[in-house]
């Protein structure tokens, strides 16, 4: 008991001594520092691309590890309902869009932090990597439209018509004039790859173009699409997006052979070169796909039947000469 009291008195004395020492000490204020400022966005990110060289796909493949969680290491979206695909997109378009994110001219709270870490050459390298990948396609919506000006058409057919032919009366050019018949686009920042792109993303971009609002300093490329999209209805935007999601190049002979085996019963015989030949294959039985539908095989017209050659006339036996 006496020890406890001694400890308590000692502790109290130490506390009092500390308080007295603190009261007698002088407080020295810290020097004032300049306020913290947020790092500005790189205003020269787009212009800096002019000083780059053609991308290195091997370095791009290394950098793509950061992109893989959302876009896939090969550029095909890991979750098509959430992330767009960038496989087979051309190098210059990818680099230009990354530069727009880095400069703040294109807004995305997800993409801007990643783009900020990249040098202009990194952007080209990433573009080279993804440009070398193969894009996967989705499925177009073939629901029959029950009302409105497109009544009776399948939903994707609305988009197919606009993509292939446009609408001259409304001064809407055919999309394939710039983006190509399979949606592969044209190399460069102006005409991107659109075939197989997820429909929600294409629709969102078309709606952004239709609004006519952008933060891009150089509006030339934006205004090309803004002019076209301004004449599209909501239904046409959705139908175009659906058609482009299902758009893809015709499979090569080897892929068609594998598809036929999976569908069952269609025997595919290479026309030349034996196993592994690169030439087209001839199907002895065609898959049950409507002609003209997306993904339907192209069938070359058969040669017209030739008339049978006339039979040679058998000469009549010679009459015996009269005997003398």
Q: Do domains 45-131 and 137-270 have the same CATH topology?
A: yes
Report the alpha-carbon distance of residue 285 to residue 127 in Å, rounded.
Answer: 41
| SS3 label, residue 150 | coil
pLDDT of residue 259: 85
Of 293, 296, 291, whose CA–CA distance to 259 is shortest?
Answer: 296
Q: What are the sequence ranges of the domains in the chain?
A: 45-131, 137-270
Residue 250 pLDDT: 85
Q: Sign (positive/negative) of CA torsion 103, 104, 107, 110?
A: positive
- The Cα–Cα gap between 165 and 179 comes to 13
Task: Please give the pLDDT value at position 290.
Answer: 43
Question: What's the predicted TM-score (pTM) here?
Answer: 0.69
- How far the first Cα of the chain sits from its last, in Å, is 174
Fold held by 45-131: Cytochrome Bc1 Complex; Chain D, domain 2 (1.10.760)
Q: What phi, psi does 144 have (nearest 5°)?
A: -80, 130
| Amino acid 264: pLDDT | 78
Q: In this predicted structure, what is the pLDDT of residue 176?
A: 97
Class of domain 137-270: mainly alpha
Q: For the chain of 324 residues, list the mean pLDDT of each consecutive stretch of 10.
A: 59 60 56 54 86 98 97 97 97 97 96 97 98 96 97 98 98 97 91 97 98 96 97 98 95 86 62 38 39 46 50 45 41
Instruction: Please tell me the predicted confidence (pLDDT) of residue 312.
Output: 45
């Amino acid at each position: 008991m006496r020890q406890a009291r001694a400890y308590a008195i000692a502790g109290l004395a130490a506390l009092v001594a500390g308080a007295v020492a603190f009261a007698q000490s002088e407080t020295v204020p810290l020097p004032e520092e300049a306020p913290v400022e947020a790092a500005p966005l790189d205003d020269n990110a787009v212009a800096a691309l002019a000083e780059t060289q053609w991308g290195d796909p091997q370095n791009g493949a290394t950098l793509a590890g950061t992109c893989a969680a959302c876009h896939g290491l090969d550029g095909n979206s890991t979750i098509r309902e959430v992330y767009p695909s960038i496989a087979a997109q051309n190098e210059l378009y990818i680099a230009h869009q990354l530069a727009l994110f880095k400069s703040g001219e294109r807004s995305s709270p997800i993409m801007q932090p990643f783009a900020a870490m990249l040098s202009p050459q990194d952007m080209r390298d990433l573009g080279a990597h993804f440009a070398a990948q193969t894009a996967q396609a989705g499925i177009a919506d073939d629901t029959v439209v029950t009302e409105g000006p497109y009544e009776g058409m399948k939903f994707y057919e609305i988009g197919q018509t606009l993509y292939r032919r446009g609408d001259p009366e409304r001064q809407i050019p055919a999309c394939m004039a710039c983006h190509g018949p399979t949606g592969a686009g044209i190399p460069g920042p102006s005409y991107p790859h659109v075939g197989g792109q997820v429909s929600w993303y294409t629709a969102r971009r078309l709606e952004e173009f239709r609004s006519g609002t952008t933060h891009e300093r150089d509006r030339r490329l934006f205004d090309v699409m803004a002019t076209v999209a301004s004449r599209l209805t909501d239904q046409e935007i959705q139908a175009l997006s659906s058609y482009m999601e299902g758009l893809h190049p015709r499979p090569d002979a080897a892929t068609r052979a594998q598809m036929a085996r999976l569908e069952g019963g269609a025997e595919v015989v290479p026309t030349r070169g034996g196993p592994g030949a690169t030439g087209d294959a001839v199907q002895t039985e065609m898959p049950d796909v409507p002609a003209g539908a997306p993904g339907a095989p192209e069938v070359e017209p058969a040669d017209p039947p030739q008339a049978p050659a006339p039979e040679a006339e058998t000469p009549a036996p010679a009459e015996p000469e009269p005997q003398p």
